[in-house]
DNA sequence: CGCTTTCGCTACGGGTCGTAGCGTAACTGT
DNA sequence: ACAGTTACGCTACGACCCGTAGCGAAAGCG
């Protein structure tokens, strides 16, 4: 999750953990004020009260820094057990929407995703520190729904994995598209409508498995 | 759709239309090779065989130029009348996925969306030249389904508009998220699964309108 | 107290930005 | 044919940011 943890040796002066936190916070502040393209590492260093060289010793460049800074915003994501699959979906959607309502997330996330289209290592970093953490919510919610009997217990592991991937892309994609492209609020009404369509689609497809879903 | 069409006066030397096409094509080529952040206007001008100053006379900056260059990729989007709502949805999904499979679209689209989070004018430009054109596909497909009797004819115009917005964000969001974040192919199998869930959700919600969907 | 690593600071070459200035090219109206 | 108007190509420029190197000082450890 951190820069790269270069096998911390027992000797020598240790790296300042406070500097890491200050740099990531300064990065988010700069994202709010300047956006992605105008954000500069020299400015981040000044905001954090840190020399520019220190920043380059910990992160390879702008991309990796912003990924780590944005990833911390998703730490608060939890799966709320509200008793029903519908309530759980709606809760996750609203949590995700609340994060995307913050300007530092809006400005930073798309920027790193744009660069990840050409950078395999960056894409893997995003997957590990942001995407996989989100996908686990879908896995957990699905497991709980199966325990409640709202969904059939388990299928072929391969089709189950594809179903999780599909639901994840639908939920996360819809929220991101709503917030960042359509630029309209993902409020409770909208989350309810999304949940209704999604739930009918999932349970209906599960009850009528004429194919793989 | 063009730069800004500054009220073309009848006098003086006219702007070269060939230069516009060359610049936009060069922009797409640069997006493929360099990605979003490494793309430079000087490089685009050289590729297009055009002076850098000419480029600045037509576009205010990198953002607007890339929006216009990417927007042309969506010109080919059509609604295929395949006889059923399911087939129409699947066709649109596959068309959209085909565009997002091109590297110039992958590299450019997220970059401009990231900047649009802070730039109202840019966001409006994207909406007019890209997003609205996509949303019309949803409107058309819905109208055809209503004509076939697959969907109830018409509701309150306000809830109808919200339904269109929701479906649009779900479809476009899922395809974008699948291609650019999960970075997995949106092939026929995946499109079929997405269509199945979506269709069940839409028709089910329409038949059981306990709320607004 | 030596050893090691980090830190802050300064300085640097290289690249991009966006603009200004100038002479030339293209097209229009009389 | 000629003057008027606009677009074009080219060069040059200051400003900014990048990423790195070198230095002395600070902060840990044995």
pLDDT in tens, B120-179: 999 999 999 999 999 999 999 999 999 999 999 987 999 999 999 999 999 999 999 999
Helix (H) or strand (E) holding B188: helix B188-207
What SS3 class is residue B127?
helix
At B42 the pLDDT is: 98
- Quote the CA–CA distance of A49 and B97 in Å, as a whole number: 45
Q: Whose structure tokens read 């994609």?
A: A173
In chain A, what residues touch B104 (CB-CB under 8 Å)?
A: none
CA–CA distance, A96 with A186 (Å, rounded to integer): 9
- Kindly report the nearest CA distance between residue B10 and chain A, in angstroms: 38
pLDDT in tens, chain A (213 residues): 444 555 566 788 999 999 999 999 999 999 999 999 999 999 999 999 999 999 999 999 999 999 999 999 999 898 889 999 999 999 999 999 999 999 999 999 999 999 999 999 999 999 999 999 999 999 999 999 999 999 999 879 999 999 999 999 999 999 999 999 999 999 999 999 999 999 999 998 766 554 444
Element holding A11 (H helix, E strand): none
What is the pLDDT at residue A155? 79
At a CB cut-off of 8 Å and minimum separation 6, what does A120 contact?
A: none
Confidence tier at B12 by pLDDT (50, 70, 90): confident
Residue of A110, A168, A174 with shortest CB distance to B170: A174
pLDDT, position B65: 98
What is the pLDDT confidence band of residue B78, given thresholds at 50, 70 and 90?
confident
- Residue A207 to residues A212, B93, B198, Cα–Cα distance (Å): 12, 24, 15
Query: Is the per-residue pLDDT at B1 higher than 60?
Result: no
Q: Is pLDDT larger for residue B204 or for residue A20? A: A20
- CA-CA distance, B135 to B144, in Å (whole number)? 15
What are residue B187's phi and psi, to 5 degrees?
Answer: -85, -170
φ and ψ at residue A3, rounded to 5 degrees? -50, -75
User: For residue B142, what are the contacts with CB-CB under 8 A and spacing of at least 6?
Assistant: B151, B163, B164, B167
Contacts of B193 (CB under 8 A, 6+ apart): A162, A163, A166, A211, A212, A213
Structure tokens at B73: 């990729």
What are the CA-CA distances from residue A72 to residues B92, B145, B150 (Å)?
A: 36, 44, 45
For chains A and B, CB pairs below 8 A equal: 183
Closest CA to A145 of A106, A198, A203: A203
- To the nearest whole Å, the CA of A11 is away from the closest chain B CA by 39
Residue B206: the pLDDT is: 67
| N-terminal to C-terminal alpha carbon distance within chain A | 33
Nearest 10 degrees: CA dihedral of B141, B142, B148, B151? 150
Q: Kindly report the CA angle at B111 between B108 and B115, in degrees rounded to 5?
A: 140
Could you give the count of Cα atoms lying within 13 Å of B42 in the half-sphere of its Cβ? Answer: 1
Residues A99-143: tens digit of each pLDDT: 999 999 999 999 999 999 999 999 999 999 999 999 999 999 999
Tell me the torsion sign for CA atoms A188, A192, A195, A197.
Answer: negative
For residue A62, list chain B residues with Cβ-Cβ distance below 8 A: 37
CA A3 to C1' C9 (Å) is 23
**Contacting residues of B for A196, CB less than 8 Å apart:** 201, 205, 211, 213
Footprint of strand D on the protein (CB under 7 A): A 10-14, 40-43, 52-53, 56, 61-62; B 6, 9, 11-16, 19, 49-54, 57-58
pLDDT for A206 = 67
Domains and CATH numbers, chain B: 17-58 (1.10.10.60), 70-207 (1.10.357.10)
Nearest CA in chain A to B204: A200
Residue pLDDT, tens place only, B44-69: 999 999 999 999 999 999 999 999 99
Find, among B29, B33, B32, the residue nearest to B45 by Cα.
Answer: B29
Give the alpha-carbon dihedral of B204, B206, B210, B213, to 10 degrees.
110
CA quadruple B33, B190, A162, B138: dihedral, nearest 10: 100
Cβ contacts, strand C, under 7 angstroms: A 6, 9, 11-16, 19, 49-54, 57-58; B 10-14, 40-43, 52-53, 56, 61-62
Mutation test of the interface with chain A: which of B34, B36, B117, choosing the one with the most A Cβ atoms within 10 A?
A: B117
Query: Which member of A176, A183, A205 has the closest CB to residue B200?
Result: A205
- Read off the tokens for B162: 């919200």
> Quick check: B212 pLDDT over 60?
no
Cβ distance B122 to A107 under 8 Å?
A: no
| pLDDT, tens only, B176-201 | 999 999 999 999 999 999 999 999 99
The yes-or-no verdict on residue B2 having pLDDT over 60 is no
Helices vs. strands in chain B: H and E counts, helices first:
10, 0
Q: What is the pLDDT of residue B69?
A: 98
Nearest partner of A190 among B131, B206, B165, judged by Cα? B165
* Residue B156 Cα distances to A127, B169, B175, angstroms: 42, 20, 29
Q: Flag if B114 and A123 touch (Cβ within 8 Å).
A: no
Helical pair B157-176 and B85-100, crossing angle rounded to 10 deg: 50
pLDDT reported for residue A207: 63
pLDDT at B211: 43
Whole-number pLDDT of residue A204:
82
| Gyration radius of chain B's alpha carbons | 20
Contact state of A189 with B212 under an 8 Å Cβ cutoff? yes
B112: nearest Cα among B72, B69, B74: B69
């Amino acid at each position: 999750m951190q820069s790269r943890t270069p096998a911390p040796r027992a000797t020598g002066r240790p790296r300042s953990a406070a500097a890491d936190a200050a740099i990531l916070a300064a990065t988010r502040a700069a994202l709010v004020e300047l956006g992605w393209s105008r954000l500069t590492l020299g400015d981040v260093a000044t905001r954090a009260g840190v020399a520019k060289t220190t920043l380059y010793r910990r992160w390879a460049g702008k991309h990796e820094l912003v990924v780590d800074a944005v990833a911390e915003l998703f730490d608060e994501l939890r799966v709320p057990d509200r008793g029903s699959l519908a309530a759980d979906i709606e809760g996750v959607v609203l949590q995700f929407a609340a994060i995307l309502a913050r300007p530092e997330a809006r400005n930073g996330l798309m920027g790193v995703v744009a660069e990840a289209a050409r950078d395999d290592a960056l894409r893997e970093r995003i997957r590990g520190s942001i995407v996989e953490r989100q996908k686990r919510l879908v896995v957990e919610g699905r497991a709980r729904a199966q325990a409640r009997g709202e969904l059939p217990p388990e299928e072929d592991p391969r089709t189950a994995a594809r179903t999780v991937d599909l639901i994840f892309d639908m939920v996360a994609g819809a929220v991101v598209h709503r917030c960042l492209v359509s630029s309209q609020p993902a409020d409770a009404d909208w989350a309810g409508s999304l949940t209704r369509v999604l739930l009918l689609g999932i349970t209906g497809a599960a009850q009528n498995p004429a194919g793989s879903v």
